């Protein structure tokens, strides 16, 4: 039973703003484990493609602020566990 991870980047519905077209892109992560029903799905916006009337295109990335906050929380948590472990070790030797 090996987990299976799929990562896809898909365009969304094109929006017309005046003569400019906006195309959002989203990335989805799907984790399925064989032998178990269901799975986990995580979607997030990745970028917006702007197509101007003269044909030029600009890709604007969308930063993932939630992921950055999660990484900070995990980092501070691990540092806290490490510091707590060291302080307990020092208390036991005294």
Tell me: do 67 and 44 sit in the same domain.
Answer: no
Reference 23, options 15, 31, 35, 33; nearest CA is 15
Instruction: Quote the domain boundaries for residue 70.
Output: 63-94
Tell me: do 33 and 7 sit in the same domain.
Answer: yes
pLDDT at 94 over 60: no
pLDDT at 67 over 90: no
Q: In whole angstroms, give the CA distance from residue 69 to residue 2.
A: 29
Tell me: do 72 and 54 sit in the same domain.
Answer: no
Dihedral of alpha carbons 59, 16, 9, 62, sign: positive
pLDDT at 12 over 90: yes
Dump pLDDT digits (tens) for 17-33.
999 999 999 999 999 88
Tell me: do 12 and 27 sit in the same domain.
Answer: yes
pTM equals: 0.66
Tell me: do 46 and 67 sit in the same domain.
Answer: no
């Amino acid at each position: 039973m090996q987990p299976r991870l799929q990562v896809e980047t898909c365009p969304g519905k094109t929006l017309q703003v005046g003569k400019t077209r906006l195309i959002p892109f989203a990335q989805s992560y799907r984790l399925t484990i064989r032998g178990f029903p269901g799975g986990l799905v995580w979607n997030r916006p990745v970028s917006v493609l702007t197509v101007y009337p003269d044909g030029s295109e600009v890709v604007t990335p969308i930063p993932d602020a939630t992921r950055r906050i999660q990484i900070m929380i995990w980092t501070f948590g691990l540092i806290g566990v490490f510091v707590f472990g060291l302080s307990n070790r020092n208390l036991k030797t005294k």
